Structure 1
Amino acid sequence: MGGCVSKSNEEPMYRPCLGMGCCGSKMGRRTSSGRIVSLNNLVSIPNRITSNGKSKSSCIFTQQGRKGVNQDSMIVWEDFMSKDVTFCGVFDGHGPHGHLVSRKVRESLPVRILSFLQSKPSKSDSQEADKEEEEEEASEEDKLKLLWEEAFLKAFSAMDKELRSHPNVECFCSGSTAVTVIKQVILMTTKDLFVSKDWFLMCFDVFQGSNLFMGNIGDSRAILGSKDSNDSLVATQLTVDLKPDLPREAERIKQCKGRVFALEDEPEVPRVWLPYDNAPGLAMARAFGDFCLKDYGVISVPEFSHRVLTDRDQFIVLASDGVWDVLSNEEVVEVVASAPRRASAARLVVDAAAREWKLKYPTSKMDDCAVVCLFLDEKMDSDPSDYEEQGYYSSATNAVEESDESQVNAEPCLQRNVTVRASTEKEKKSEGEQNWSGLEGVTRVNSLVQLPRFSGEETKT
């Protein structure tokens, strides 16, 4: 995106280029590297990572849980539109085809945001004249915020429409969360004019600052690690977990005839249910897909927020709920800060979550975990070879990439999301088993368990 400083006889002016060329001139559907952005050439785009590893300023890691295929996806895209913009995202799928949905969102959503910003038409002279006074009153930061908010809202809406009509990804009772963050470095200038007797000079004091623009649906979360006045690290939650029991979310769902309640076996997990059937039991109020509930209060409109970063802000962590179910914000910040190498920070957070799952919920099936760590000073401290030595690359990531064709063509069905406590004997099953049945543990949070739903007669009674 970047910014341009223009000189005139009146006063200097900062204009956000927004990746459209110098001072608003459009570059077409191209990135700063000159390549057309499409789903066909995403793999060849530099500084874009989607599997376990690191980039210039971040590291990412995911690990499969005990529920089958890994349904979590993640992305870091540096030089997103321009060299001063970074896109990060974590997507947590759920339902029979959640792994396909989350991967599709990971690939398409950033491109849709790019497409909106790069194709946004410039204002005509008449329009600019009519709104000149309004624009003068609004600060450049406010304009930028409004533009990003519009980009998030339209891209999320278009993404959900694409999933509804996608021929190969069944989203009737499958879906995905999305927590996305865009970090943009902005140049700000003073408007002081200095004139001497012998020569004329327009002088600008240039300040560099970073802005965060965030869009979130579902219960994946982003946090910020910052230093306080005593140079101690503190955690700040950047996004809200959009659970069905939040007052505003519950009210909307009830107005749309949906129902919100928790099962007796997991009273701490409120879920969304159809009006006349105890299915499917979705543990979030907003999501991509899940079209069986879209008429009953579940939406894909993101919660948008903006934050100006300071020099005390150190790093950002995005993670799926498999991490937040067992680790607090403060614990995650502590793990990242204590990592011997920044490149291993994401893996260490996942390892800590795996340990906590065994301690806190020994009879539960551990959820998939995905973590993105973005360091705001854009410095990493290890070689790419370090990953192979540490066993950093994991086969768990590949599970997200390998789609099961038999699942793609399966018929959509609504099934009751239920929890059954495990017996003592079943808890002693070997650790090597990957596919647990629905009766072998407590299923928490988002999964739609493949158990028989209530019949029509039982529902009516």
Structure 2
Amino acid sequence: MGQLLSHPLTEKTIIYNDYEHLSQQASRRRSSEHSSSANKHRAQKGAQFFNCVGSMQGYRLTQEDAHLVANCDSMMELNFYNPFTDREEMLSMSVFGVFDGHGGDECSKYVSSENDAYQGIRKWIRLSFETHEYGPVKGLESKSFKRRFRTIEGLVSQVLKDAFLLQDRELYCHYANSSCGSTGILAVIINEKKLYVANTGDSRCVLSTKGRGVKTLSYDHKPQHIGELVRINDDGGTVSLGRVGGVLALSRAFGDFQFKTSVSYTNSAHGPAAAQRYVAPAQESQVTVEPDVICHQISYDRDEFLVLACDGIWDLYSNRNLVQFIKYHLMLGQKLDDIVTKLLDHGINSADSNTGVGFDNMTIIIIALNKQGETLAHWYGKMKSRLEREKGLTI
């Protein structure tokens, strides 16, 4: 194992987003007496949600994971019609995502499109928010809506589902005859207040809270789960050895169009040929891209950090164990990049050829839920003091 650990496949990629350059720019803007109003707004905003991304190919032949960080200077800003207030609003979104590809890296890289803010899933999130046709159950009876919701949280959750479905339709144009696919876990923080986690597949998101709390913000989509199994069987599929068609170990994903043959992605669904076969909604195919969405109201007094990771990480840790690992090293005064490095090192050291654990690609993002204007050094100090008190080391 010592020789394997020095192999290039086990080299780690660590991206530590401490946004130090943005903080310095904000300070310079604040000291300028002639800043424009836009610059003043950005200076007040400052850096937000410090984070660290870590990835490692491991002993797989290729690296099929991808990730997305759209935050601070790459934050999404878009117009949104809120039917509950009947007015246009400007939304600021920090978006973090992990995409675990299989059968190739084409789908995961396409969906993440990290270097292009107007491609991939961000393109469809923007379109879905800016052009939705949803309204409230009560009020605005004179207007015609495609669908009505009781809460704004329900409406936003449906908008995110629409974005996933639209992204999958675009993928069909490029990879209809390919066997590639990808899971997707997205954490979307809107106006620094509401967190929405959209998940399709078996990547996962958890939230660490004050007092040793761990909140699960996603649930794995596995073929043997009863709801997934019923959908697969209803669409003519089978599950054997815990896999769809004996092949795919998860039941929701981008791509994997060989399991979506009953869905029509072209206008031919409305022609004469449509009457010759059953056409299923995309939500009802054997493998669907439709995500589950969980909403959480952020409390900066209690909530500490988010963790997004692919199943290569969760094969090694339970939700609670991973959070405890991170908290333990924060209490020791270590930084996020050092902690992510230790996590990946422990993963590769745990590789077991009998179980296959530790041999998968590994990608993880740790996101600090720091208050507006709070520096990274202050967040580290706050976490260290809090954890020491929880352990009874200080009063």
Deviations 1:81-139 (A, max 9, x none): 348531110000001x2x1110001120022101222345799xxx946369xxxx96x
Matched with 2:243 is 271
Alpha-carbon deviations, 1:292-335, whole Å to 9, x = none? 11146111111111111222110000000000011111221122
Q: Is the aligned partner of 1:243 residue 2:222? A: yes
Distance, in Å, in 2 between the alignment partners of 1:323 and 1:121 is 38
The answer to whether 1:297 aligns with 2:286 is: yes
CA-based RMSD: 2.8
Q: Which amino acid aligns with 1:258?
A: G
1:354 deviates by: 2.1
In 1: Cα distance, 2:96 partner to 2:134 partner: 27
- Matched residue type, 1:289: G
Instruction: Using the TM superposition, give the Cα deviation of residue 72 of structure 1 relative to its aligned residue in structure 2, in angstroms.
Output: 0.6
User: Is residue 2:101 matched to residue 1:93?
Assistant: yes
Q: One-letter code of the match for 2:173?
A: S
1:292 partner SS: helix
Structure 1 residues 170 and 344, CA gap change in structure 2 (3 angstroms): farther
Structure 2 equivalent of residue 261 of structure 1: 240
**Could you tell me the TM-score, scaled by structure 1's length?**
0.55
Specify whether residues 380 and 298 from structure 1 end up closer, same or farther in structure 2 by C-alpha distance, changes over 3 A only: same
Distance change (3 Å), C-alpha of 1:327 and 1:381: same
1:67 aligns with 2:60: yes
Give a deviation string over 1:6-57, Cα, whole Å, max 9, x none.
xxxxxxxxxxxxxxxxxxxxxxxxxxxxxxxxxxxxxxxxxxxx97332441
Contact 1:90/1:178 (8 A) holds in 2: yes
Change over 3 Å in CA distance of 1:349–1:67 after alignment to 2: same
Deviations 1:177-217 (A, max 9, x none): 0000111246xxxxxxxxxxxxxxxxxxxxxxx22111110
1:372 maps to: 365
CA distance change for structure 1 residues 120 and 256 in 2, over 3 Å: closer, same or farther? closer
Counterpart contact for 2:65–2:108, Cα < 8 Å: yes
Distance in 2, matches of 1:55 and 1:86, equals: 15
CA contact (8 A) 2:14 2:341 kept: no
Match of 1:182 in 2: 188
State how 1:52-451 maps to structure 2 within 5 Å: 52-56=15-19, 57-79=50-72, 80-82=75-77, 84-95=92-103, 97=104, 99-107=105-113, 108-120=120-132, 128=140, 130=142, 142-143=151-152, 145-166=153-174, 169=175, 172-185=178-191, 210-228=193-211, 233-262=212-241, 270-273=242-245, 281-295=247-261, 297-310=286-299, 311-337=301-327, 338-339=329-330, 340-358=334-352, 361=354, 366-377=359-370, 379-381=375-377
Distance in 2 separating the partners of 1:54 and 1:330: 25
Distance in 2 between residues matched to 1:353 and 1:303, nearest whole Å: 28
- The structure with the largest alpha-carbon Rg is 1
Q: Matched residue of 1:149: which SS? A: helix
**Separation of aligned partners in 1, 2:161 and 2:68:** 19
CA contact (8 A) 1:62 1:347 kept: no
User: Deviation of residue 151 (structure 1)?
Assistant: 2.0
- 1:202 corresponds in structure 2 to none
Question: Structure 2: 5+ residue runs without aligned partners?
Answer: 1-12, 20-49, 78-90, 114-119, 262-284, 379-395
Q: For the residues of structure 1 that align with 2:337 and 2:14, how far apart are their CA atoms?
A: 13
User: 2:32 — aligned with what?
Assistant: none
CA displacement 1:353-384 (0-9 Å, x = unmatched): 222334x85766700000011111164349xx
Aligned equivalents of 1:110 and 1:361: distance in 2? 40
Does structure 2 conserve the Cα–Cα contact (< 8 Å) formed by 1:349 and 1:371?
no
User: Per the alignment, do residues 320 and 101 of structure 1 end up closer, same or farther by CA in structure 2, a change over 3 Å counting?
Assistant: same
SS in 2 for 1:109: helix
- Check whether the contact 1:51–1:74 (CA below 8 A) recurs between aligned residues: no
Q: Count the aligned residue pairs.
A: 277
Counterpart CA distance in 1 for 2:297 and 2:134 is 26
Structure 1, 283-292 or 302-311: larger mean CA deviation: 302-311
Q: 2: CA distance between counterparts of 1:81 and 1:225?
A: 25
Report the CA distance shift for 1:373/1:363 in structure 2 as closer, same or farther (over 3 A).
closer
SS at match of 1:183: strand
Unaligned runs of 5+ in 1: 1-49, 187-209, 263-269, 383-461
TM-score (norm 2): 0.64
